[in-house]
Structure 1
Amino acid sequence: MKRTNLLAKENSQLTRSLISFNEVLKPSILLSVFITFLLILSNGVEAAASTNKVTNIGAIIDGTSRTAKEEKTAMEIAVQNFNSISRNHKLSLHFKNPQADPLQAAYAAQELIKEKKVEVIIGMDKWEEASLVASIRNQSQVPILSFAAPARTPILTSLRWPFLIRMASDGSEQMRCIAALVHFYNWRRVVVVYEDDVFGRESGNLALLTEALQEVGSEIDYRLVLPQLSNLTDPKDVVQDELIKLQKRTESRVFIVLQSSLPMLTNLFGEAKKEGLVGNDSVWIIANSIASFLDSLNNSVISSMEGTLGIKTYYSSNSSFKKFEALFQKTFKSEYVDEDNFQPGIQALRAYDSIGVITQAIEKLGSNTTSPKMILNSLLESDFIGLSGRIRFKDGMLSDAPTLRVVNVAGKKYEELDFWLPNCGFSDTLYVDEDKGRCRNSDGGKTSGGLAGPVIWPGDLTGRDPKGWAMPSAEKPLKIVVPKRTSYDKFVTFRTGEERPVGFCIDLFDEVVMRLNYSLPPVFVTFDGLYPDLVKGVYNKTYDAAIGDITILSERAELVEFTQPYAESGLSMIVPLKTEDTTWLFLKPFGLDMWIVSERLHSNLTRVVVVVWLFVVFILTSSYTASLTSKLTVQRLEPNFSDFQKLKNDKLNVGCENDSFILKYLEDVLGFENDKIKIFDLENDDTFEKYNIAAAFVELPYGRLFLDRYCKSYTSTRSTYRFGGFGFAFQKGSPIAADFSREILSLSEDGYLTKLEEKWFVPVHGCSRTSATNNNAESLSLRSFKGIYIVSAAISAICFLLSLIRLLRNSRPHQVADVHLLSPGSGFRATEKFYYGEQTRVLRRASTFAQALDKDARGSPKWKYVSNFDNF
């Protein structure tokens, strides 16, 4: 029993000893294992450190802007992706914030090079920062990848900044795209809007836009320059004042926003909407620098921009982009919780691709990355398809122009419309084959000069495109000025007691307005002055338009926008008529040689020839009859002067209406002396006598109207000096002028203008416009044959006198023989009876006297009848 107890006690002690040993041994084993692990890990880190190379990259971005936030997030994602798959090379990013100051950017670059030993510097969204950093760091020979590029590439850029690489293109294609939109919709004048800064950053893009607009026939009418937002205490009031000032100075409503910060953009559209500038017939176009942030705008801001067109850099939404997009949104949302939108823009994609350029260069060089020149050359040799598009360089910048796409803000989102292709214009597809200068879509799409798809415009505009102009309305009608004093009131005039004018021009205006696809409420005012002053009233925006007989001249066309001319115009010279004398008209059908030609017949052969000539005589007789008929039945009217040169040489007075243009033309072009030019009103036919003038110089339409009334007394010479015609005048750049021109052409083609002329310009009876000389057929009268009557009467009188003289001469011997039978007055009485056709009776010797006469008749070859007077 005791032994048993003893053994149990010993076993108990042994167990306690083993437990104590295990408790002591366990911590020792754990400690030894931990030490061994640390040694292994330390050796592994040292081995990795000895095999991995770290490339330091400096990033200079403004950390407060949305652009900088996107770029920073994208670069961090790119570096993480590279470091996770690279075994022997790592990237390290070092950020600096220049606070939008180029000098601070240059100082930050210096710090990165000296302290962080960076081998590449990326960032710098502003060209001023990039160029200054590149200029200062040329001596350090550190390659610089800039996210900015100048609007115009400076001369010898590669020589000035040999280590500067631009991850961007210039703005030429974007400005061409905007100009193409302006041209397609026929917007002649635009307003450019941009936020100013101390560096005048938008001056280059502004110059490019100006040139692009000039190439398509448009121009910048007004520049709305907004102060930098950081300098304003109340930006809303400043923007409102600028918009009110704009409305007073221009009627253009095509706004092109080149550059603006997002807060300023919010104020701009908010105040513009209050002022009614984001409504019907208004157009808003935003450049790529703003359109790229449409994805990041909140709903209230983007809804105020409804109808806006934007030029946005296109990028493909492929699988690589979708992976990046998901990672970007997750990272961006966790880091910037105050942001409303987490969609990456083109700036983020470009920043991500910039890291790709560096990693490709590193992998290509391997361990030989000590030379900055080798790194630079390797960077410039990059060629790959990135998230932002194809990445390859030429002359230190991206060689491929960005693919642009037009977007249209609709509601709280935007719709993508057509692409802009540099050589083909707008296209609804990217797949375009260029063959011999012609563009053809390979997938059946269309290329055109404008947008193919439907566009949502500002306001409630439907059924047509906006005019881009402050269009008239019931509250603000079209203010039209008409001349009070016109040469002829049939063109336009105000009748007593009527508020609305009447005339040819008013009827034409009403017909055009009726054919337009928009309302145009007018209000008419009179102008009592000269036409040049009336045109200047439209130019200085006192009036919206001028309607009347306004001559289109080059100097006037520089001030206002003229419509297509509705009537031709030129300088016409009106002179009194010189009527042709018809007394000897019957001699004119034949010349002198035809009247005096004669020949004697000598043989039978000659008589045969005469038979043939009888046929010729018939023809000559018919020709004479036709020619004489024409000369007698058609009045030939000739002007006293057919050439103004004779008027000048003879120093005769000429007249013109009270128009400074015609007066100046007569002096400067035709060379008339001022004292020989009389000012008159060509209304009545006594004007020439009243002002003692030999000719009147008037415009062609006035001359025609004058001849419509007085064609019997005056005629006009053919117009050899042409002008631009009569037209309506609108303010420069007004789209209404183009619409009127189109409708006037249509009215001319369908004959409406002719009918309107027949209504208002009816010639008086007996006058016609069919000939410039107004040749009119008249009835024949005795006066038409006056010449031949005179000749016939003269020959008859001469023959009568000759017969009487011979009669008296032959009867004289018998009168002497019978003198005792005749009384002293019998000779006179015999002559009197002969004149009145009575018979003379001779007493007692009548038979003997008759026999004597009969004998004389048979023997004399001269007198056939000398019998009684009734036989004569």
Structure 2
Amino acid sequence: MRIQSLTFLLSLFVSLCNAQNGVLVPNNNTFQVGVILDFDSGVGRIGLTSLSLALDDFYSINRNYSTRLVLHFRDSKGRVTDAAASVNVFDACLSCVNAALNLLKDVEVDAIIGPQKSSHANFVIGLGDTAKVPIISFSATSPSLHPQTPYFLQTAINDAAQVDAIAAIVNYFKWGQVTFVYEDTEYGNGIIPYLSNAFQEVNTRVSYRCVIPLSANDDFILRELYKMKTMQTRVFVVHISSALANRFFLKVKEAEMMSEGYVWIVNSGLMDLFYSMDSDVVEAMQGVLGVKPLVPRTPILRSTSLRWHEKFVKDNPGISQPEMSLFGVWAYDTLWALAMAAEKVGLKEPSSHQNVTAFNSTNMFVTEVSKTGPKLLEAMLDTRFEGLGGNFNMVNEQLEPSSFQILNVVGNGPREVGLWTPNRNSSERDVSFSGKKLKSVIWPGESLNKPKGWEVPMSGGKLRIGVPAKAGFEEFVKVERDSQTNATKISGYFVDLFDLVMAALPYAVRYEYFPFERVDGLNAGSYNDLSYQVFIGNYDAAVGDITITANRSQYVDFTLPIEGGGITRTQLIKYENPNNKLFFLEPLHKKLWLAAIGLFVFTGVALWILEHRFNRAFRGPPSDHVGLIFYIPFMSLVFANRERIVSNLARVVVVVWVFVVLILSSTYTASLSARLTTLELQKADTDVNALIYNGDYVGCREGSFIIEYLVNLGFHRTKIKTYKYPKDFDDALSKGSEKGGITALFSCTPYTNLFLTKYCNKYMKVGSPFLSEGFAFVFPKGSPLVAHVSRAIVELTDNRRISEIKDRWIRHSACNEDEPYPDNALWKPIGLKSFTILFAVTGGITATCLVAFLITYLYKNRDSIQRIISSNSGATTWSKIRAICKHFDQRDPKSFRSSRDREDGGENASPDRNAYPVNPARRSTVVPISQEEIKDENGVINSPNLEQATASADQSRAVQLQNIRVV
């Protein structure tokens, strides 16, 4: 067995020598594999030892395999070309490309293992894709390299796999913000987008990103460290190479940032090469946390590690490397996987020149196209086995991720404090430890207390607090500037409140107010702009009348509300005018007045019609008739009517009319009394849609988020006016939309309350408030001050300290009870609708009585009316109507005799205390008149003799009454 191993090693040595001299022995069973590593780097030396050991072990175990791999090593720093003498990154990349071209064109390799660095891999990947040769890297872990081409395989765990484990650590300890520290290379930049997404999942803000170039000197690193020291964040996530880490952590200790309260989390690349670092660097990294892919400590791994260590010491005398490291394990498994894939492919096929002209040209990047490469790639992707690092399985041209160890640097090396395992059964990110607790961690400064992740910076100045410089409601925030000294004074309710809250914190915080204004002293923007300045770091916080909105909360954090929210609508109050000369008419609506007057006249006419033929009081000249028509209904208003009503129908009308008069007069009196006692408000329209439909102008404060809110409600932007000062609101509301002002003012509830204290009895809130959040202090996303300040606000609210400050700045009410009411009044009188039924019943009864009377009249006098109509066919219609009216105007004889009997004390007379006895002998009689005597020359009935007889009878009766008085 030993002799066979020596024979194999001898043949391997001969192959290597021939490869170096460019002499190849054609063999269809031999696969040429190029290896590009940096021979002077730790990873390069580890890789060389692992590949050589893996080659020996694989073919020692699998002697029956018909295929063999032949390795061709190239130094990426330039042992093939002279470009390696330069430390320039571009020269190193060019050297790596030259090595790859040499392997592809001269050696005609079937696969390339390497290059070592992610920045070099970017240049080589394209060559492999052109030549159809797999590029396999066990050390280029940047996620940005995948997927660029299907011919690039990462047989290492991608750096993106560790970001969830790092985010899980931050989430476990409840740190709200972190700082990224990474090198400015493909290796450093490639992981940053994945880290940002992972921290976003756990609501952790990235407060700062420190980018360190590879060429950075120690002074640059110190400046960056001191800059980060002046910031609040004390949690740093570091993703740099081991070469840069050796200098970086020494400067961290020099800047006194590896002390209590600081948190440093490093990537898996640094933790894997930890044992290769100098002792002073290890001492500077005490308390550091890190992640590292879990590699099971199997017996095979332990025995292989011992042999690997012996070989490494032999190949690299004087260089200490106590562990095989992950890169050594992945290099070992990579060669085994490639050897298995070659055995699956079997015999090679010769390369082809797809474009002979291009191949013979001077273009150095033109290579042969391999026919074996695609088959080897496919076989590599299908290869699965249990390697030194665990299960070797390629998923999407990458090694399948495994669990990660959570390590804590203590003493001479890291110790495991936890284990994070990805959840492969869920499509969502797993950024937790699934309820498992970590072991106790020894933090920087040998502290056992969990750092809170932030500190108030003690160096680098005070916190910059932005304050809105908007004019208007100066009770909230007031910015004054002394014209002589140019000094700025900031005061107000929210400023005093912030001072009180910061004083209540359990630690001292130094801060300074800065008005958010331009160089010329004008306001620099809206509240959204001020919040954005906090987001980008120009301010450490913002204080003022800043409303919590969904848009702003996406990039800043708010404390608990310090003032209630809601958007209220304010409109002008309209009162009735007590100084109106026609004040007595206002208790009743105009329509009601007209209806009452109409019913008044109608009742008078109805009574005249019903009583005219039967009652002497309703006789006489036409002027007396008109007076009676208006007199009798009017006197009923004061119940002073002394005229006797004879007709029963007329009595029904009077009763109904008196009832109407009673209700109407009582209502008028009550309304007038209320009018004199209190002033009624005009009801405002509580529907916003009515304002939109009517095209009314509405207003809000300048720069407020309410502008967009009103647009979303349906208002056109041209109908929205903005104002700065409360006086502007007052002027606009007083004018109204018709005169160039506004109909309604929309503002946050605190603004509305303050505005109403300034203008009492003039404006009022209308409708229900629209829901919105209140005012709060603004801090950067994830700022730890948010929780502490919110807690202080609750405590100060409970002990009424905030109420005391509010009372000092904001008056509850400035209204004077003795203040006269304004003159822009509009009294709302009682309308016709309230009396519709009453008037209808009254009019109906009166009309019914009239109809009944007319029917009775027409029936009793049907013969006379018929003769009038048919007596003279040549008479006009109008003359006939006049004749009927004259007939109706005559007193009813039966009613006359009945009335006279009552007056003279006849048997039909009713007792009357005002009546006197009449001598029967002197009683006058009515002389009957023949029908011939009452016809005129036209044949129309006339009654002159009847009138003369009536007058004679009246005269005789008067003489009789006088004689009685004489006696």
TM range (shorter): 0.5 to 0.7
- 1:196 match: 184
Q: Which runs of 5+ in 2 are unaligned?
A: 12-28, 79-91, 351-371, 600-666, 820-828, 831-910, 917-967
- 2:546 match: 550
- 2:265 match: 285
CA distance 1:687–1:85, shift in 2 (3 Å): closer
- 1:73 match: 49
Cα contact 2:385–2:391 (8 A) shared by 1:
yes
Q: Does 2:39 align with 1:59? A: no
- Measured after TM superposition, the shift of residue 397 of structure 1 is 3.6
CA distance 1:282–1:633, shift in 2 (3 Å): farther
Report matched runs for 1:477-626 at 5 Å: 477-480=462-465, 482=467, 487=472, 491=476, 504-505=493-494, 508-509=497-498, 512-513=501-502, 519-524=508-513, 532=524, 535=530, 543-552=539-548, 561-569=557-565, 572=568, 574-579=570-575
- 2:392 match: 391
Scaled by the length of structure 1, what TM-score is found? Answer: 0.60
- Could you tell me how far apart the structure 2 residues matched to 1:109 and 1:688 are? 80
Equivalent residue letter for 1:566: I
CA distance 1:298–1:113, shift in 2 (3 Å): same
Report matched runs for 1:381-780 at 5 Å: 381-398=382-399, 400-410=400-410, 412-423=412-423, 447-448=434-435, 452-458=438-444, 465-467=451-453, 471-473=456-458, 476-480=461-465, 482=467, 487=472, 491=476, 504-505=493-494, 508-509=497-498, 512-513=501-502, 519-524=508-513, 532=524, 535=530, 543-552=539-548, 561-569=557-565, 572=568, 574-579=570-575, 636-638=680-682, 659-661=702-704, 680-682=725-727, 697=745, 699-700=747-748, 701-708=750-757, 711-718=760-767, 725-731=774-780, 734-737=783-786, 739-740=788-789, 761=810, 763-764=812-813
Equivalent residue letter for 1:308: V
- 1:259 match: 240
- Could you tell me how far apart the structure 1 residues matched to 2:327 and 2:514 are? 56
- Measured after TM superposition, the shift of residue 313 of structure 1 is 1.5
CA distance 1:59–1:571, shift in 2 (3 Å): closer
SS at match of 2:247: helix
Q: Does 2:111 align with 1:98? A: no
CA distance 1:361–1:751, shift in 2 (3 Å): farther
Q: Give the superposed CA RMSD.
A: 6.5
- 2:161 match: 173
Q: Does 2:199 align with 1:227? A: no
Q: Percent same amino acid among aligned pairs? A: 27
- Measured after TM superposition, the shift of residue 292 of structure 1 is 1.9
- Measured after TM superposition, the shift of residue 728 of structure 1 is 1.7
- Output one character per residue of 1:680-720: Cα deviation in whole Å (capped at 9) or x when no partner: 45599999999999778474313213434654444233476
**Paired positions, count:** 695
- Output one character per residue of 1:820-849: Cα deviation in whole Å (capped at 9) or x when no partner: xxxxxxxxxxxxxxxxxxxxxxxxxxxxxx
- Measured after TM superposition, the shift of residue 665 of structure 1 is 8.0
- Measured after TM superposition, the shift of residue 253 of structure 1 is 5.4
- Could you tell me how far apart the structure 2 residues matched to 1:655 and 1:392 are? 67
- Measured after TM superposition, the shift of residue 178 of structure 1 is 4.0
- Output one character per residue of 1:446-495: Cα deviation in whole Å (capped at 9) or x when no partner: 605x9745545556877554445x63438744343556887556546799
Report matched runs for 1:829-848 at 5 Å: none
| Bigger shift: residues 343-352 or 738-747 | 738-747
- 2:143 match: 151
Cα contact 2:534–2:540 (8 A) shared by 1:
yes
Q: Does 2:219 align with 1:237? A: yes
- 1:607 match: none
Cα contact 1:561–1:729 (8 A) shared by 2:
yes
- Output one character per residue of 1:307-360: Cα deviation in whole Å (capped at 9) or x when no partner: 433232221122222223333334434544544551221101111222332454
- Could you tell me how far apart the structure 2 residues matched to 1:110 and 1:501 are? 69
Cα contact 2:115–2:124 (8 A) shared by 1:
no
Cα contact 1:189–1:252 (8 A) shared by 2:
yes
- Could you tell me how far apart the structure 2 residues matched to 1:563 and 1:381 are? 55
Cα contact 1:655–1:679 (8 A) shared by 2:
no
CA distance 1:435–1:718, shift in 2 (3 Å): closer
- 2:115 match: 124
- Measured after TM superposition, the shift of residue 126 of structure 1 is 3.0
CA distance 1:538–1:116, shift in 2 (3 Å): closer
Cα contact 2:471–2:725 (8 A) shared by 1:
no
Equivalent residue letter for 1:546: A
SS at match of 1:763: coil
- Could you tell me how far apart the structure 2 residues matched to 1:435 and 1:573 are? 49
CA distance 1:61–1:217, shift in 2 (3 Å): same
| Bigger shift: residues 178-187 or 66-75 | 178-187
- Output one character per residue of 1:547-599: Cα deviation in whole Å (capped at 9) or x when no partner: 232345688778865444322456655555333689999999xx99xx999xx
SS at match of 1:447: coil
- Could you tell me how far apart the structure 1 residues matched to 2:207 and 2:413 are? 31
**Equivalent in 304, 319, 322 of residue 342 of structure 1:** 322
- Could you tell me how far apart the structure 2 residues matched to 1:549 and 1:259 are? 44
Q: Which runs of 5+ in 1 are unaligned?
A: 1-40, 425-433, 598-622, 769-775, 777-785, 788-854, 861-872
Equivalent residue letter for 2:238: V
